Structure 1
Amino acid sequence: MSSAASFSVWDYVVFTLMLVISAGIGVYYAFSERGQSSSADFLVGGRSMTAVPVALSLTASFMSAITVLGTPVEVYQYGAIFILTCFTYVLMAAVSSEIFLPIFYRLGITSTYEYLEMRYNKVIRLFGTVLFIIQTVLYTGLVIYAPALALNQVTGVDLWGAVVSTGVVCTLYCTLGGLKAVVWTDVFQVGIMLAGLLAVIVQSVLLQGGISTIISDSAQGGRLNLWDFDPNPLRRHTFWSITVGGTFLWTSVYGINQSQVQRYISCKSMFHAKMALYISVVCLWAISICSVFCGLCLYSLYKDCDPWTARKVSALDQLMPYLVLDILSEYPGVPGLFVAAAYSGTLSTVSSSVNALAAVTIADLIRPYFSLSEKQLSWASKGMSVFYGAVCIGMAGVASLMGGILQAAISIAGVVGGPLLGLFSLGILFPCANAKGGLAGLISGLALSLWVCIGAQIYPPRPENSRPLALVTHGCNFSGGTNWTASTEEILERPFLADNWYSLSYLYFGPLGTVTVITVGLVVSILSGGRQMKVQSGLTLSKEDLTFYKAYNILKAKVSGSTGKFDLVQELDKSFGKTNFAFCDVELSTQTPA
């Protein structure tokens, strides 16, 4: 392949147009909603959104540049087994919509962590809030840094200039338009992400002479390693680590993470909120399949001359933008479309994070302790958006010190998200859980997850566990270069834990934290009198919250004699309620131990 070209004028036009439209959506909602000055209008869109735009926003929130840039490289290095995450999306949607969504929606809360005070106490709520802020700031810094690398590689734009511009644009439309601007910008950006990935796929297929060639090359190179059922938890990616670990990971993201919960509680009815989660699965499938196939295209095109080993790129995460300019530079504007796709993923994720950070700060750290009017809270929300935008830009510097962006992002999400998922699950599923058990479980789960994650950073797993696939340079038009896997030989002596405990697959960091929290939490709760505790109604799951239970009762009533036109979807919507309960003048009191 030829060396990569550079951006043309039309590429800059396409890229700039994407930024202008994104910012324009924020400006539009800033003016169209200026009569609605409450913090609820700004943070949760007045709780009037419908299922489809919220579903697309749920998809865009975590389908960032890490997906556009990181997933193809993951497939290029380790094979297409990562596509099994599509199974986990289905399980995630079922668990999130049936267990967590009904509780949060019914309470009409702004911050997810308000539930922790209702169910446990104020200390645990603050603990959860602080953990969320730390996790989100770290993750968002990584998300900002990833497309900046892409721009730096393909255009020569200053790396940190790109980092700052990303954060500024996100903060602008998030601060101006609130959640509605974030949601509708996400809808636009999902389309851009898909268009950018499809452009790469179509051109790769044309260059290689068909999909069959790409599949054949990938099979010969060992990239179609889809069905690895090895139960060894030290193996980086297997069927079990991806499906089990991935389900815990994505449930911690979509079930309890403020960025996602804030979207579905903005829906006008609980049924719309549940449908938004299920519809988002289809969107997640589309983007995941496209990004995985881009990885196969990447391998097929460079199977004989790996650009990283050949030192044509300085980091593996730059391979996708290198490929784009290599094969699409003759089509003015198309490379710009791909970089816009990477940027779109970043804008959607960062804006979601900034909006969520502002929401939890107002709901958990400002409103309970300061007497402010709704107008003052609204201005405070916008001020927090600006503040967190600046903080996330700063954290991009930390992200620049991390390794591969995909694994780093999932590790951050798992280490904090896993214990928090365990804490919420403990409260929702086990009425005997009390505050002592919740706090003991959270501390234990977090300590264990951090221990194994930090150990893995110090002592990376051996190649026999990570199993990188071969990348070669014998087809390059230069002499020299070696297989990149040769540099992974160990030089220093490793302790016993390094090749056992610290080599645990990064996908198990989340489940480890979740299971530890629930186990320790139940033991401590039972020993400290949890079985005698009475929990306020509405804070734990009931059968009336389940969609299948509602559908069963509706169908049963229909069969038993009801006549006339019948629409199950309409009946379910009516059964769950047409109005968000947050509008009712009923407040749930916090629990008190018996």
Structure 2
Amino acid sequence: MPLTTIISFAFFVVLMTGLSWFLTRKHQLKTAADVFLGSRSLNWIVIGGALIMTNISANQFIGENESVFINNMSIMSWGVTSVFAMLLVSEFLMPIYLRIGAVTTPDFLGVRYDSGTKKIVTVIFLLSYLVNLIPAVLYGGAVAINGIFHLNEVLHISYWSAIWLLACVIGITGFLYNVLGGLKVISISDTLLGAGMIVGGLLLPYFGFKYLGHGDAEAGLLTVLGSHTDHLNAIGSAKDAVPFSTIFTGMLLVNIYYWGMEQFIVQQALGSVSLEQSQKGIALACLCKLLSPLMLNIPGLIAVHLYLHPQATAEIFPRMAADVLPPAYTGLIAAVVFGAALSTFNAGLNSVGTLFTMNLYKPFMIARKGHVSDRELIVRTRLFQVGVMLSGIIIAPFIMFFKGGFYNYIQMLAGFFSIPIFTIMVVGMATRYVPPIAAKAGLIFFLTANVVLQLVLNTGIHYLHLLAMTFVVTALLMLLIGKIKPMAIPYQPAAVPVVPVKPWKNRHWYSAALLLLMVLLFIIFSPLGLAK
């Protein structure tokens, strides 16, 4: 490993950490709002950067490039179509959250149904983060960093030991970020990382094409466009990892849930200074999602021509970064990947603390003692986060033994936890008479049906289609219960906004432009474009 790469990596990590500290040095963590919502002081640039970097972790760098290498560009659908979901969230869900002064997304369920539903969903969120989000982020970051620096070879230790060691480093560093800065320092750091990712997104494909073309980037580009054109197709068939039809069924539901109801994502936008700033920040994140294939997918296309028989397809991205980039730039990419892993881990850990403290511990203590101080809330949050961090470090290395592959592990578990919550939230937003018992029955039915359809029966139907079908059946079940036993007093949303909720005046023009760019990307990577 060249010394220049190590120095470059250390320089960029210290630079981003130092700038984050400098820009937030006057921010005090005295109240729960300071820790969990950055004192509701985030502007649109910070929100956009935080959303995109919380979303893009080392998991995407590894998993999506691996999928492109093995299959084709159909994996691009997850990120590109999320633009449509994000715009729906911006237009319809964010006004609801900010009007009721929500701190967590289950807060809406507490207002719409009852405190019992809110607590059940909070527990589901926490389980999802414990077994899926936190371990997967640590594992993905560890694999990426080890792939770039070959730590197991440098230290003469086993691959397992290297992954475990790096998971410890990422976990402990992320925890310290939370302790020292809360959501605001995390969001500022994410904004700086977003700028680094854009630079890296331009550098890696360029040097990849140049490396493939033996010093001529244009020749490398022509090689990618002229052979293995089946890999250029984003219109997935039924046999591909992401069939195109799933865009209109389960994928749409998962994306709306992820961007509009997933606590560690939505919390970035809930910390906004106003609805207008929140909507502008989401639009900025949409633009970044349309640029993200430069780093998440194009390297996988180039790798198809560079590595005929790789030992481990999960290391395609870090191997590309190490092979094609000059040492100084490799350090930058390593810093971005390390920061991306930290970013998602930080957001997840902050959200875990928010959910546990505000939705479980605080109500329990108020019922028991009548009050609880902000200081006690912060202390209990830190103790709970330590436990979550340690459990994630323990679980992370075992993901390598999952037979379906790393990316499949993430998506399958995410579907189990996400769409049941999505279902009761959508029905709650769309109706006024469906009672709390319907929400609880819907959760139990959906979770049971998921286990039977995906783990017990071999239906042969793509899991995203199964999620969509179960969503429809569960929603109908809830509506039927609402018809038989409606609420005596219909739900009336109470507006208690703590920030201005006037929407962004020009949002529709920007939304139209973003949707047009989304469609153009699919045309470019299709048999009508580059894949003909």
Provide TM-score, normalisation by structure 2: 0.84
Matching residue of 1:418: 419
- Going from structure 1 to structure 2, the CA distance change for 1:198 and 1:235 (only over 3 Å counts) comes to closer
Counterpart among 6, 15, 20 of residue 9 in structure 2 = 15
- Output the CA distance in 2 between the equivalents of 1:28 and 1:390: 29
Q: CA deviation at 1:441?
A: 0.9
Q: Is the 8 A contact 2:246 2:464 kept in 1?
A: yes
State yes or no: 1:95 paired with 2:88: yes
Cα distance in structure 1, aligned partners of 2:256 and 2:401:
28
Structure 2 runs not aligned, ≥5 long:
152-161, 214-218, 366-370, 496-500, 508-532
8 Å CA contact 2:71–2:240 kept in 1: the answer is no
Q: Distance in 2 between matches of 1:406 and 1:74?
A: 8
Superposed, which structure 2 residues align to 1:577-588 within 5 Å?
A: none
- Which of 333, 349, 363 aligns to 2:328? It is 333
SS in 2 for 1:368: helix
**Closer, same or farther: CA 164–202 of 1 in aligned 2, 3 Å:** same
CA contact (8 A) 2:52 2:289 kept: yes
* SS at 2:363 equivalent: coil
**Distance in 1 (alpha carbons) for counterparts of 2:64 and 2:350:** 26
Bigger shift: residues 183-192 or 388-397: 388-397
Identify the residue that residue 249 of structure 1 maps to in structure 2.
Answer: 254
Point out the structure with max Rg over C-alpha.
Answer: 1
* Identity among equivalent pairs (%): 21
Deviation at 1:194, TM superposition (A): 3.2
Distance 1:195 1:513, change over 3 A: farther
> Who is 1:223 aligned against?
231
**Match for residue 105 of structure 2?**
112
One-letter amino acid of the structure 1 residue matched with residue 135 of structure 2: G
How many Å apart are 1:295 and its aligned residue?
Answer: 1.4
Deviation at 1:333, TM superposition (A): 2.4
State the alpha-carbon separation in 1 of the partners of residues 126 and 293 from structure 2. 27
2:320 is matched with 323
Decide whether the 8 Å contact of 2:61 with 2:295 is kept in 1. no
Residue 339 of structure 1 and its aligned partner are, at CA, apart by 2.4
**Structure-1 separation of matches of 2:125 and 2:466:** 16
* Alignment equivalent of 1:534, drawn from 490, 505, 530: 490
Q: Aligned-pair distance for 1:279?
A: 1.8
Go from structure 1 to structure 2 and tell me whether the alpha carbon gap of 1:61 and 1:86 turns closer, same or farther (over 3 Å shift): closer
Distance 1:179 1:386 in 2: 17
Which residue of structure 1 lines up, in the alignment, with residue 43 of structure 2?
50
Q: Is the 8 A contact 1:141 1:393 kept in 2?
A: yes
- Superposed CA deviations along residues 544-589 of structure 1, whole A, max 9, x for unmatched, are x996xx96xxxxxxxxxxxxxxxx68xxxxxxxxxxxxxxxxxxxx
Question: Contact 1:415–1:513 (CA<8 Å) still a contact in 2?
Answer: no
| Residue equivalent to 1:511 | 468
Question: Does structure 1 residue 75 correspond to structure 2 residue 71?
Answer: no
1:51: Cα distance to partner? 1.2
* Residue in structure 2 matching 1:128, options 121, 135, 146: 121
Partner of 2:525: none
Offset, 1:407: 2.2
Residue 203 of structure 2 corresponds to residue 199 of structure 1: yes
| 1:168 Cα offset (Å) | 0.9
1:400-447 Cα distance to aligned partner (Å, 9 max, x none):
332422222122222211111111111111112111111111111122
* Preserved CA contact (<8 Å) 1:142 1:396: yes
- 2:277 counterpart of 1:272: yes
Deviations 1:232-251 (A, max 9, x none): 6x864222113433221121
Structure 1 segments (4+ residues) deviating >4 Å: 25-31
Structure 2 CA distance for aligned equivalents of residues 347 and 20 of structure 1 = 14
Residue 522 of structure 1 pairs with residue 479 of structure 2? yes
Q: Residues 167 and 318 from structure 1, CA distance in 2 versus in 1: closer, same or farther, beyond 3 angstroms? A: same
- On the 8 A contact 1:423/1:514 being kept in 2, the answer is no
Deviation at 1:103, TM superposition (A): 1.4
Question: What letter corresponds to residue 194 of structure 1 in structure 2?
Answer: I
Contact 2:420–2:471, Cα closer than 8 Å, also in 1:
yes
* CA offsets 1:149-183 (integer angstroms, 9 cap, x no match): 23333433222111100111111112210000110
Task: Give the structure 2 partner of residue 175 of structure 1.
Answer: 179
Q: 1:356 to 1:516 in 2, by over 3 A?
A: farther
- Cα distance, 1:86 vs structure 2: 4.9
Q: Residues of 2 paired with 1:527 and 1:400: CA distance?
A: 48
Kindly provide the CA deviation profile for residues 246-297 of structure 1, in whole angstroms up to 9, marking residues without a partner as x: 2211211111111122111111111211222222110111113432211111
Determine if contact 2:231/2:301 at 8 Å carries over to the other structure: yes
Structure 2 residue aligned with 1:448: 449
Query: SS in structure 2 opposite 1:333?
Result: helix
In structure 1, distance between residues paired with 2:363 and 2:444: 24
Separation (CA, whole Å) in 2 of partners of 1:262 and 1:271: 16
Residues 113 and 351 (structure 1 numbering): CA distance in 2 closer, same or farther, change over 3 Å? same
- Please show how residues 436-475 of structure 1 align to structure 2 within 5 Å: 436-455=437-456
Q: Distance in 2 between matches of 1:146 and 1:335?
A: 18
- Which residue matches 1:306? 309
SS in structure 2 of the partner of residue 400 of structure 1? helix
Deviation at 1:391, TM superposition (A): 2.8
Measure, in 2, the Cα distance between the counterparts of 1:289 and 1:453: 33
1:290 to 291, 295, 311: 295
Higher helix share: 2
Partner amino acid, structure 2, of 1:326: D
1:68/1:341 contact within 8 Å kept: no
Per the TM alignment, residue 28 of structure 1 is displaced from its structure 2 partner at its CA by: 4.7
**Range that drifts further, 74-83 or 443-452:** 443-452
Match of 2:529 in 1: none
Specify whether residues 546 and 514 from structure 1 end up closer, same or farther in structure 2 by C-alpha distance, changes over 3 A only: farther
Contact 1:444 1:516 in 2 (8 A): no
Partner of 1:213: 223
Deviation at 1:27, TM superposition (A): 4.8
CA contact (8 A) 2:163 2:397 kept: no
Contact in 2 for aligned 1:70/1:406 (Cα 8 Å): yes
Amino acid at match of 1:192: G
Residues 18 and 400 of structure 1, relative CA distance in 2, 3 Å threshold = farther
How far apart are the structure 2 equivalents of 1:196 and 1:534? 52
Unaligned runs of 5+ in 1: 1-6, 308-312, 456-496, 540-544, 552-567, 570-594
Structure-1-length-normalised TM-score: 0.75
Distance 1:360 1:334, change over 3 A: same
How far apart, CA to CA, are the structure 2 residues paired with 1:181 and 1:156?
A: 30
Tell me which of 325, 337, 344 is aligned to 2:339.
Answer: 344
Question: Quick one: structure 1 residues 32 and 389, their matched pair in 2 at CA, closer, same or farther if it must change by over 3 Å?
Answer: farther
